[in-house]
Amino acid sequence: MENHSLLSLTVALLGFLSPCITRLTPRVSFPMGNVNCCDTTGSPGRQLSRFSSHDVSNTTTLLLSEDGNMLYVGARDAVLALDVSHKDAVILRHKTDCPNFIRVLQFLNSTHIYACGTFAFSPRCTYINSKTLTMSLKPDEGRGRCPYDPYQRNSAIIVDGELYTGTVADYRGNRPVISRHLSEGRRVDLKLDDTLGWLEDPTFISSSFIPDEGKIYFFFSEVGREYDFIDKFIVSRVSQICMSDVGGQRTLQRRWTTFAKAQLLCQADNELPYNVIQDIDSLPPTGGAPADDTLFYGIFTSQWSVNSGKSAVCSFRLTDIKSVFSGNYKVLNRDTLQWSTRVQEKVANPGECGLHNASDNALRFVKENFLADESVRPIGRSLTMVSAEHSYSHLTVQRVQAANNRDYTVLFLLTESGYLHKTVLLQSGAHIIEEIQIFDQPQPIKSLKLSIPKGMIYVGTSEGVVRVPAANCSFYWTCPQCVLARDPFCGWDPVSRACVEASNTHTNLGQDIDRGNAEEACSSVSLTHRATFGPNKLPAGELVSVSLNEVVRLQCPAASRLSQQLWERPNTRLSSDLYLHLEDGSLSFVATPTTLGHYLCLSTENGYQQTMVIYHVKQKSSPIAQTPTSRTGHQTHPLPTTQAVARPGPWPGTGLHTSVGTWPKRTEAKEETEPTLSSRDTQATTRQLGRNLTLWTAESRQKEEEFRDGEPLLLARSPCYLKELVVVSVLLVLCLSLLITILLYVIRKRCHSRTAPQAGTPTRNSDRQTPVEQEAFRGNQFLSKCNGQVLHSGQASGLVCNGALTGSNGHLPNTPI
């Protein structure tokens, strides 16, 4: 008990000690375009074939003929025969009604298919003619062969006319079984002994037949009873049975005597394990290699919250699985139902073929000791790849021989969000060559089938069947792009000057899968990937006419999602005070006499640098700017902005292209037609842009929709409003001056009215004045002055002058002289 508690604490601590995961970014991405039934359509640069029908749904069980020309599909209430021999279309040949959801679809022999469906929670099986798709009249019992629930996972495989299945045998799903059916002659149908809990609430994933071993291997996940945790701990398992097993004579009658299971441990050292298996596929050994070199690649997720949303791929070798099954086994205490490991005398070897003739004592031993003590570790005790951004659900694997005659492993991984990732495994790690969007919304059930002879991948979803070519070499138009893709399927042919599929007929192809060195691999090809600024020569480019003080934004398409954009100017450093480098790789600045001129955008990937676009920014030739008709009111105008982008257009075979310097220009009133560049000047640049602009995806598509069809891409050519600004400023100054003058006049007027007597009002003192005083008053009333101001006869003689009240003679008023 203490050991289990310590293990639980260790697992919890490993979640905090897990190292950072390297971000895996697909090099190119192809979003799904508008697709129709049976059309060869899809995203630009990636042509897909899709089959769908309004009366067919849940096409999730796929069976491919040996020659790869016919695809049989198990759907809801129907079985379909699709002709996939044509390159450009998927054609429906036959369709037959079949009970409910089809969950088992296997070739019984060369003429018939064995199919099982849920039949409204009452499973039924039938025989179908593979040529005419006609069914047998009498169905078979489907219990133990097909699940009751259409959304419950199961596994089925037919070998030598016998059906080996992993499913549940009751309505509630509480009786899991691994069984054999359709046995004939001396062989009998077998199933598991369920008295000791050989299976603990399993979820069956897949099954695989190894001919040299004569064994069937089942892969599933279940509750690990050997771990005494508070919560149920899920473990991934591999189990094996021998095809020669016929059950015991007395003990284990009609039960497996060769059943054994072991834990698949997808875990790197000092990291938290990925304990829940999602899918697994086998990779046969190369020609002449033993069967022990068979590899199994599986997708694993984790039930721990610290690894939520992450997926890992682990690979296991058959020889390691066999070694674990031939080792020690755990001992089950039948009283406490607890597992323990102790040294015990081996009465028999569990999992060994031929035990049906063993003694009852030996059979009782293998009945109680079926769980291997050791776990199957991944190759190199490390993860093949791990992704924190994508949750994978299905995979298929293929070995591809490259132009250098070396074999590379290519994984096709299906994400829950609807993308197919094509990934090559290198010594430096996994490299995602491309991602292709298969369907819009996440699907509850999917299946993935690979046709190596035809080079096609088939994806079954609830929306229909999608066919995806494994190779997409024609998308890469230049040798550097073909090499930088690091696709084992593709290589550059210097004779035809095209990226072609690598095969025995094509020799001396330019290819570098391990390093992606475009300079070395394309040494025989003349590369003009870099335009330089000479002292007396400026490169050709897209002409961009702007007005001064406009905000200019020059956009640069990325060669791939792994490339980085770099901007350059002739003999000028792009100062951060004047230029703004945006996250999408574009360059923004204000048009001034200093910032006019040539701009070159470079894309760098894996040490290779190429020119993506060249711009020549010049001032508009017409100096006349429009002025507003009314100067009244207060108006605000947006800051004029000019954007220059590389416009997408049709490329032969891909749906993309970029043209530099040859776009049409719009002519405005009183503005000269801007010159365009000759094709000779832009030929080198155009070939560099070509179809290597592999990232014109949903993001660039949104930017493209901002422009009108058929119009130039120099947007927002607004006139300069400097003249209007000056006029408004002068008017504002004049208004303020007039307002201040009026205010001063009013203040002075009020000051006079407070201190002066009313005009024309005689006083009593004037009547009493002597003749001498009256004469003096009359002599001074015309020219009395105070602080330089003239007072007339109608005004009072007493004034406030320099802060003092005085009379006409300099004395206080009414004071005798």
237 — alpha (psi -120 to 50), left (phi > 0) or beta?
beta
- pLDDT tens sequence across 266-311: 998 888 899 999 999 999 999 889 999 999 999 999 998 778 788 9
Residues 51-60, mean pLDDT to the nearest whole number = 89
In whole angstroms, give the CA distance from residue 239 to residue 216: 8
Q: How many Cα atoms occupy the beta-carbon half-sphere of 198 within 13 Å?
A: 27
Is residue 17 within 8 A of residue 11, CB to CB? The reply is no
The pLDDT of residue 532 is 54
φ, ψ dihedrals at 777, nearest 5° = -65, -40
Give me the pLDDT at residue 506, please.
72
Ranked by mean pLDDT, the top range of 53-57, 199-203, 672-676, 779-783 is: 199-203
User: Residue type at 356?
Assistant: H
Q: Is the pLDDT of residue 3 over 70?
A: no
86-122: pLDDT as tens digits:
988 899 999 998 878 999 999 999 999 999 999 989 9
The answer to whether the beta carbons of residues 287 and 407 sit under 8 Å apart is no
- Mean pLDDT of the residues in the chain: 79
Instruction: Name the strand (E) or helix (H) holding 720.
Output: none
Kindly indicate the confidence band of residue 538, based on its pLDDT and cuts at 50, 70 and 90: low
Range of lowest pLDDT (105-114, 303-312, 375-384, 419-428): 303-312
Range from 531-535, 584-588, 732-736 carrying the lowest mean pLDDT: 531-535
Give the pLDDT band (50/70/90) at residue 55.
confident
Going from the C-alpha of 803 to that of each of 755, 786, 799, the distances in angstroms are 11, 11, 9
> Is the pLDDT assigned to residue 197 strictly greater than 60?
yes
Amino acid identity for residue 5 in this structure: S
Is pLDDT of 814 > 90?
A: no
Contact 458, 470 (CB under 8 A): no
User: Which pLDDT does position 94 carry in this prediction?
Assistant: 94
Residues in the chain: 817
Enumerate the domain spans of the chain: 475-521, 542-622+637-719, 721-755, 774-817
Give the pLDDT band of residue 43 (cuts 50, 70, 90). Answer: low
Strand partners, 597: 617
Q: Is 344:422 a contact under the CB 8 Å cutoff? A: no
Mapped onto helix, strand or coil, the DSSP state of residue 135 is: strand
pLDDT-based confidence at 723, cuts 50/70/90? Answer: confident
Q: 351 near 331, Cβ under 8 Å?
A: no
Domain spanning 475-521, CATH class: alpha beta
d(Cα 690, Cα 111) in Å, to the nearest integer? Answer: 50
Fold of the domain built from segment(s) 542-622+637-719: Immunoglobulin-like (2.60.40)
Mean pLDDT of 530-540: 56
Alpha carbon distance 680, 684 (integer Å): 8
The DSSP letter of residue 191 is: B
pLDDT of residue 444: 73
Question: Is residue 712 over pLDDT 50?
Answer: no
